[in-house]
Amino acid sequence: MKRLILPSTLWVCVVALLTFGQVANAQNLPDFTALVEDAAPGVVNISTSRTVQRSSAPGFGGFGGQEIPEIFRHFFGEEFGDRFPAPPGGGQGRTEERQSLGSGFVISEDGYIMTNAHVVQDADEILVRLNDRRELSAEVIGSDPQTDVALLKIDASDLPTLTLGDSDELKVGEWVAAIGSPFGFDHSVTAGIVSAINRTLPRDAYVPFIQTDVAINPGNSGGPLFNLDGEVVGINSQIFTRSGGFMGVSFAIPINVAMDVAEQLREGGRVNRGWLGVMIQPVSDDLAESFGMESAIGALIADLDPEGPAAEGGLQAGDVILEVNGEEVERSSSLPRLIGKGAPGTEVELTLMRDGEELTESVELGSWPDAEQQTAQTSSNNQARLGVMVAEIDDAMREQLNIPGGVVVRQVESGSVAAEAGIRPGDVLVSIDHRSVSSADELVEVVEALPTDRAIPVRLFRDGRSLFVALRLE
């Protein structure tokens, strides 16, 4: 074998070229040191504790036979619980204190802090650890599960605050960085790029998520996402995974959405979002052709609340909503977010496709049912156990689905038993635990008799197909 022997001067040139290339590449990469030095003081660690009932049966995966903690479900998805099922017949035993970790950031010198709603959900005590190692108790000013945003308040002054950016200006491919406390390691910094914008996730219809490849893990939740100018452009909320670990797909709540929610929480402790009162479904290619549409876009109205704003505004089942105030409804999952941006009492202009013709209707938005109204309605629909609001279906829908009965799901409470089982608005509940359900009253009777020591089969009709899901009551 012949070997090529280069002169020493040529070796020097090669090494110089390689070194120059490495330096050039390094110069093209962003430097986050100044960003971290400026922003780190405004990032906080949040720890919560709550008392729970511990199952007397031995657990699997180290969870003591209990339901999988919400923070793991939120980060790792529904399939995480399937890999760590609770044992049958667990029963209730002694109580124990459960602790969890998260992150947050200071938005005002007098102690207002932003984080995720799921970080502080059901917490008995919330402790905020500042950058100077002080630990202060925090109270929840307000929490909005629909957007996963919570506003906290600590008794402090002259706190370092973070600069808020404009998430609407984000571009795909832009560099971003996160600071948080993954697994309790305070002020850990990770970086990546914006992978996509305006992502809609199945259980979070009100948030146009920012998708990134920034490494996010439990404990990062609620922490800030920065652009290269050191401005907060999002709140890190969740990841997608099939293995239980970070896989390069992370989601953050845009700061513009989060701050709108925070301002409403600060003023009144709750969020008022627009409500249209429709049940929608996607527009398939075949449906688009049948409606005389060139492409499968928009949200098809499958049913309306007879007393809702849409019905009063003249909308009909079979209408396809194409635009809201001139903004295109690319897919059905985009509609709740576009409607939710409007304040109750304001008018929205809807562009519709009806009977092959495009027309415009103005509808005055209603107010999403508040906690008291939901409590009143859920007593009759037993939402307290399942987390659903239902309505009875008419004879035409029964005939179309070829089923003897059933009730249609109008609303699914975020984080509820029904949501965990994968039940969605628009599903028709046909039977629960092999018992037929033909009315809201029958649903109450069936749910009241359900056991809590095993998984329960639920038969649904979705998109014209029958399927089963399993749920487990607490």
Any idea which residues carry the catalytic annotation? 118, 148, 221
**Letter for the amino acid at 473?**
L
Q: Which candidate, 441, 410, 444, 443, places its Cα nearest to that of 425?
A: 410
If 0-12 CB within 10 Å is exposed, 13-18 middle and 19+ buried, where does residue 106 land? buried
- Distance in angstroms (rounded) separating the CA atoms of residues 463 and 426: 9
Rg (CA), the chain: 26
Q: Which candidate, 427, 416, 434, places its Cα nearest to that of 463?
A: 427
- The angle subtended at Cα 275 by Cα 273 and Cα 277, nearest 5°, is 165
Give me 312's structure tokens.
Answer: 């009063």
Residue 218's H or E segment, with its range, is none
For residue 50, give every residue at least 6 positions away whose Cβ sits within 8 Å of its Cβ, in sequence order, or none: 97, 98, 122, 123, 124, 125
Runs of H (alpha helix) within 87-198: 117-120
Question: From the CB of residue 60, how many other CB atoms can be counted at a distance below 10 Å?
Answer: 13
* C-beta of residue 75 within 8 angstroms of C-beta of residue 218: yes
* C-beta of residue 419 within 8 angstroms of C-beta of residue 428: no
- Distance in angstroms (rounded) separating the CA atoms of residues 81 and 78: 6
For residue 455, give every residue at least 6 positions away whose Cβ sits within 8 Å of its Cβ, in sequence order, or none: 470, 471, 472
**Letter for the amino acid at 457?**
P
- Decide: helix, strand or coil at residue 8: helix
Q: Which candidate, 474, 463, 414, places its Cα nearest to that of 204?
A: 414
**Letter for the amino acid at 430?**
V
- Decide: helix, strand or coil at residue 167: helix
Q: Which candidate, 389, 167, 145, 123, places its Cα nearest to that of 261?
A: 145
